[in-house]
């Protein structure tokens, strides 16, 4: 993988079992720390947002609500 300054991910763990989700996030977290990459991601899993995001924005029909 190249070393981008920004990595944009959309619903990257949708449909994965809990173990696979954990492995994906371990890999992304490690990549982020090793390369100083900003990770921008969309998810419906609030536990993922809470655990892996430094900042959270909630959208409703394309508008920021929180």
pTM over 0.85: no
pLDDT in tens, 43-63: 999 999 999 999 999 999 999
Predicted pLDDT at 2: 77
Whether the pLDDT of residue 1 is over 70: the answer is no
Predicted pLDDT at 3: 80
Calculate the average pLDDT of the chain: 93
Domain ranges within the chain, ordered by starting residue: 6-64
Q: What are phi and psi of 19, to 5 degrees?
A: -65, -45
Q: Is the torsion defined by CA of 25, 28, 33, 39 positive or negative?
A: negative
Residue 5 contacts residue 17 (beta carbons within 8 Å): no
């Amino acid at each position: 993988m190249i070393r981008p300054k920004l990595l944009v991910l959309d619903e990257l763990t949708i449909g994965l079992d809990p173990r696979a989700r954990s492995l994906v996030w371990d890999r992304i977290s490690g990549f982020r720390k090793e390369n100083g990459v900003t990770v921008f991601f969309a998810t419906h899993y609030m536990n993922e947002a809470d655990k892996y995001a430094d900042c959270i924005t909630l959208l409703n029909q394309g508008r920021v609500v929180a």
